[in-house]
Chain A
Amino acid sequence: MSGPRKVRLSTTPTPEALADLRLGDIVYLDGLIYTAREGVYMRALEERANIPMDLPGESAANFHCSPAARINEDGSYDLGAVTATASFRFSKWIGEWMAKSGAKLIIGKGGMSAADYKQHFVPNGAIYLTTVGYGTGALLGRGVKGVRDVHWHKELGLAQAMWVLEAENMGPFIVESDLAGNSLFERENDKISANLDKVYEGTRPATLKRFGETDDRSDELIG
């Protein structure tokens, strides 16, 4: 078995390099990566704080992550494992963030919806890379050759701070969306769903329903 194709990719990728990627390719990254999740998005987009990096010049790779790391008293950093957090929660900020930061690679856990890809990623020429597992924290930690900087850690805490990581052959990541906005996860979901009716045979829905999962206020718990 040959397995999936493996690709090295810069964190400031050319449009041609991105166009060449196919869903399911395995990617290893070289260059600067920065972490940004709810803390950074809220600070940069809602509080309008100045982003403390030159984006996308220094890096076009936004990692939904906070590393297992510490800042030593002498100001140096020790970084252990690196694992992503689930990206779907950042849908409300991602379009504005990409417009502002010029990010071409959004890296995280679990991808986002194809609707998000079509609305936000495609116009910005960006793709989504998912981490593997989850998570290969030790392997990704090995791919970080150094910590360039940690911004906003006093304001946001270590887990929400903007970590700037020097990646060298850092991976594996999997190409989850392409420039056309297709999603690998949704493609796989469709294949699996086709089999589910059979798996569910011999089961029955719960007698007591749940209220509030639709906006229909006339719903009842029974019936």
Chain B
Amino acid sequence: MIPISTIQSTAEVLMDKAAIEIPQDYLDGLQAAADVEDGDLSSFVLQAMLENYEAAKEDRRAMCGDTGCPRWYVKMGNDAAVEGGMVALEAALRRATANATNGVPLRPNRVHPLWRTDHDNNVGIGAPEIEYGFEPIGPGEEKADWIDLITVHKGGLFGTDYRMLFPSDGIEGIKRFYLDSLVAFGKRGLACQPAIIGIGLGGSKDTCMVLGKRAACLRVVGSKNSDPKIAALEEEFKELGNSIGMGAMGFVGKSMVVDCNIEVGYCHTGGMQMSVHAFCLSSRRAVARIHGDGQVEYRTDPDWFTDYQRRETVEWEGHAVLEAAE
């Protein structure tokens, strides 16, 4: 049984880490982009960003003044249990979001869409979002009694789009919408590029958006889709994005895409939904695993897209199912 106080205190640390510490995988990716960037203004921008990450860590202040929309992904091992149950967990994550907004401090961004009511704490109706995933017991694990808490602070206004494509649009149509999205939001740097570009393909409209957002926010720079043909597309799309001739802030340059991640879901036989998401120059994510015995381990790789999350068919041929069958 994981104590609720551990959930809340861990969540508060995660809010702080996400806001202040740029994840190493993104930093390495941006450094690599800065090394090859030869546009005068683009180079200046990338150097300024690298200095900014240092300043944030030295001062323990947020790297970006726009907190975006803090949200939570909760992944639970199949045997995990929380003191007070899931309602208590949700309350703890909401409290942690409010406390960290005041504590770090972060910008209170969340308001009512019509009345613009602002609680000054990033909490409100449906905010922060809390999404869930579950994981069977892994090889060598005795019990999957852990919980992964993941917070992502992603910008909220630009860089994301959705389109219903059809099988007849083909790869040419996918490329077209990809380029359209990058150019449209890349101009003047509205997407805060170079970014981790997440692409969702298939699913339904809502799940297509979810897949693309998770591809951008829950996979690290350098990761590859487990389907080798999709992994090849990711590489091709990264290069395509960086060949536009546009760099940071929409200045002439070649650093638009730090990495491109694609996730797919089965869709209607007549359709080919597509979404594009940009996780920005302040790619803020932080992860902690809380074990059943209350121990906490921090990391920056959400490791969300396991084989189980991408399972293809009815039965899961994993350890958990075999045990249950015995």
Q: Which residues of A are interface residues toward B (Cβ below 8 A)? A: 1, 3-4, 24, 26, 65-70, 78-86, 109-111, 130, 132-142, 157-160, 172, 174, 185, 188-189, 191-192, 195-196, 199-200, 202-208
Contact = CB atoms under 8 A, between A and B. Distances in A.
Contacts of A141: 55, 59, 61-62, 65
A24 B41 CA distance: 7
Contact of B190 (A86, A140, A158, A202): A86
A32 to B, nearest CB: 18
A81 B62 contact: yes
A135 B282 contact: yes
B250 interface: yes
Interface stretch (B165-173, B223-231, B294-302): B165-173
A137 B52 contact: yes
B108 to A, nearest CB: 5
Contacts of B56: 81, 137-138
Contact of B183 (A111, A158, A174, A196): A196
A110 B105 contact: no
A26 to B, nearest CB: 7
B83 to A, nearest CB: 30
Interface residues of B, number: 65
Interface string B278-314: 0011100000000000000000000000000000000
Contact of A68 (B106, B179, B187): B106
Nearest to A188: B251
A33 to B, nearest CB: 13
Interface string B170-183: 10110111010001
Contacts of A24: 40-41
Interface stretch (B138-146, B207-215, B238-246): B238-246
8 contacts: A134-B249, A134-B281, A138-B61, A138-B62, A159-B111, A202-B172, A206-B165, A207-B169
Contacts of A202: 172, 175
Contact of A206 (B158, B177, B251): B177
Please indicate which of the listed interface residues B64, B118, B187, B280 has the most CB atoms of chain A within 10 Å of its own CB.
B64
B250 A80 contact: no
Task: Identify the 6 closest CB pairs spanning chains A and B, nearest first.
Answer: A83-B65, A157-B118, A203-B176, A138-B56, A81-B62, A137-B65
B48 A133 contact: yes
A157 B177 CA distance: 38
A159 B120 CA distance: 8
A207 B104 CA distance: 48
A110 B166 CA distance: 34
Nearest to A4: B44
Given A3-B44, A80-B62, A205-B176, A185 B104 contact: no
Contacts of B183: 196
A221 B303 CA distance: 40
B52 A185 contact: no
Contacts of A78: 105
A65 B67 CA distance: 12
A137 B168 contact: no
A3 B179 CA distance: 30
Nearest to B188: A110
B62 A159 contact: no
B63 interface: yes
Nearest to B192: A134
A137 B249 contact: no
A192 B104 contact: no
Given A80-B61, A138-B56, A203 B157 contact: no
Nearest to A26: B44
B105 A68 contact: yes
Contacts of A132: 44-45, 48-49, 249
A208 B164 contact: yes
A68 B62 contact: yes
Contacts of A188: 41, 250-252
Contacts of B188: 110-111, 185, 189
Contacts of B172: 202-204
Interface string B192-204: 1000000000000
B78 interface: no
A199 B244 contact: yes
